[in-house]
Amino acid sequence: MDELPSLVADVNARIREIAERSAERASDWEFMCECGCGERVRFGLEEYEGLLAKGLPVVVAGHRPSATARARALQEDAAALRAQAGHQVGRALKGRKPRT
C-alpha cells in the first residue's frame, strides 16, 4: 500500500479543483487524511492551501503521514536542491575562460 499516500494527495488535489470551481468554495470541504487511514478531515480552501504552501501534510489533528509521504517530501526537497546546485554550477562554468 505504498502508493496510498500519494494517491490520497491526488484525491485532495482533485477536491481542491472542484472546490475552487464551486459556488460554495468558501465553505469547508472534506479532504482525505494523508496518513492513509481513510478518515476525512474538514478544511476550508484557504487552510488547505496554507498547509500546502508550508509543505505540511493534510491530516486529521494528531495523525502523522506515513514514512512514504515523508520520503516523498524529502525527495522533492532533494530534487529542488539538485536543480539549484546545477544552476550554480552552470553559472560558475560560464564565468570561466576557455583554455587556449
To the nearest 10 degrees (0 to 180), the angle between helices 45-53 and 4-21 is: 130
Residue 37 contacts Zn ion per CB under 5 A: yes
* Residue 69 neighbours by CB distance under 10 Å: 21
Q: How far is the CB of 62 from Zn ion (least distance, A)?
A: 8
Q: How far is the CB of 12 from Zn ion (least distance, A)?
A: 12
Chain positions 65 to 94 lying near Zn ion, rule: CB under 5 A, are: none
| Start-end of H helices in the chain | 4-21, 45-53, 67-94
9, 19, 35, 69: which one binds Zn ion (CB under 5 A): 35
Bridge partners (DSSP) listed for residue 100:
none
Q: How far is the CB of 32 from Zn ion (least distance, A)?
A: 9
What nine digits make up the cell of 16? 481542491
Only segment of 19-27, 37-45, 66-74, 81-89 that touches Zn ion (CB under 5 A): 37-45
Measured CA to CA, the distance from residue 54 to residue 56 in angstroms comes to 5
- Interface residues with Zn ion (CB under 5 A) are 33, 35, 37, 60, 63
